[in-house]
Amino acid sequence: MATTTNTKPGKNNTAARARGFAAGTSKYYTDPNEVLELGGASYTVAEIQAKLARIGELRDAVLAAQVAARTRVAAERAELPALTAFLADYAAFVKARFGTAHGKLADFTLVPPKARRALTPEEKAAAKAKREATRKARHTMGPLQKKGIVGNVTGVVVTPIVAPTHGDD
């Protein structure tokens, strides 16, 4: 019984079909110079074999590239966290070494920190009001306020509950 290749769409299936056609072509068309008419064009058996082989070559190249890409991505995932931590440490070193020297930090593509500006009296008052409103809305308290809160439990009564046994029905 002859085996057939999968005719479902897909690049791997197409490559497998092309290999199957190449095998069949080699079996039934032994003269490489024989000309066949396909889709309104003329092709030699050698040209047909070359085109069929090219389909498989393209698929093999893509699969190999995908494996290589997965390998490189895995290597990046393994090494990048340590290298990123090193980069952060080096950036901190450069900032500590050169301070706020704009030109030197710019050579490292670092931006010097902005100088903090003092708040105006209106901004300070608004911030204080906002903090108090937030504490009130969230019912947050400081440690001294928490000490003043006590429960109102005056006593506890424990009532035992006994489960009936099977023989007491």
89-99 pLDDT, tens digit per residue, is 999 999 999 98
Could you report the per-residue pLDDT of 66-94, keeping only the tens digit for each? Answer: 999 999 999 999 999 999 999 999 999 99
Residue 93's pLDDT is 95
pLDDT category of residue 6 using cuts at 50, 70 and 90 = low
Closest CA to 70 of 81, 78, 82, 59: 78
- Please state, in angstroms and rounded to a whole number, the distance separating the CA atoms of residues 63 and 65: 5
Run of H or E including 95:
helix 45-98
- List the structure tokens of 87: 């980069």
Could you report the per-residue pLDDT of 51-65, keeping only the tens digit for each? Answer: 999 999 999 999 999
Contact 64, 13 (CB under 8 A): no
- Please state, in angstroms and rounded to a whole number, the distance separating the CA atoms of residues 46 and 41: 15
Written as one letter, the residue type at 6 is: N
